[in-house]
Amino acid sequence: MEFTHLNKEGRARMVDVSGKDDTLREAIAAGFIYMKKETLDRVAEGTIKKGDVLSVAQVGGIMGAKNTPNIIPMCHPIMITGCDIKFNISHEHQRIEITATVKNVGQTGVEMEALTAVSVAALTIYDMCKAIDKEMVISDIMLIKKSGGKSGLFERKG
């Protein structure tokens, strides 16, 4: 298989999707941010109050999904038709799981939008907690599932 982003001169191009059909597409991405026990406790407390860390990360992630074509150089402009982000706090693993679901109806999919939403949500959590913990780690950002388009369904195993 060839890299689709290379033109005849071997330089990067934005792949031509003009001939593709508009189909309903969905992508789900996930990732984790690991932090100290005390930091996680503080974030978890906040979730029962207004103005908490995860509310800001939710907004940051959704705006990141919309902003993807400005952030990722070769991404096509896309009008996403829906975006949701979920957080799952695990005290056992000292981490927050972030899952983003993005939808669109168009000629190209929303994998990058979902991955960017997760990344920006994680970075936002880092930003808001960094005064008390500089050793947080963002890990295992990956595509979980995508559907729609010519390449069809993808589901990550295990």
- List the interface residues with a second copy, window 110-139 (CB under 8 A): 111-112, 115-116, 119-120, 122-124, 126-132, 134-139
When the beta carbons of 37 and 71 are compared against a second copy, the nearer one is: 71
Q: Please indicate whether residue 140 is annotated as part of the active site.
A: no
Taking each helix axis from N to C end, the angle separating 111-129 and 53-71, rounded to the nearest 10 degrees, works out to 140
Nearest Cα residue to 111 out of 140, 138, 149, 139:
149
Q: Would you say 93 is a known binding-site residue?
A: no
Nearest Cα residue to 87 out of 32, 35, 14, 131:
32
- Restricting to residues 59-98, name those near a second copy by CB under 8 A: 59-60, 62-67, 69-87
Round to whole Å and give the CA distance between 13 and 9: 10
When the beta carbons of 14 and 91 are compared against a second copy, the nearer one is: 14
- Restricting to residues 16-55, name those near a second copy by CB under 8 A: 16-18, 20, 24, 31, 42, 46-55
Closest approach, Cβ 88 to a second copy, in A, equals 10
Round to whole Å and give the CA distance between 75 and 85: 21
Q: Would you say 75 is a known binding-site residue?
A: yes
Which residues face 103 on adjacent strands?
Answer: 26, 82
Q: Would you say 142 is a known binding-site residue?
A: no
- Report residue 119: phi and psi, to 5°: -60, -45
Catalytic entry in 84, 127, 133, 140: 127
Residues flagged as binding site for substrate? 74-76, 112-113
Residues flagged as binding site? 74-76, 112-113
The residues carrying an active-site annotation are 127
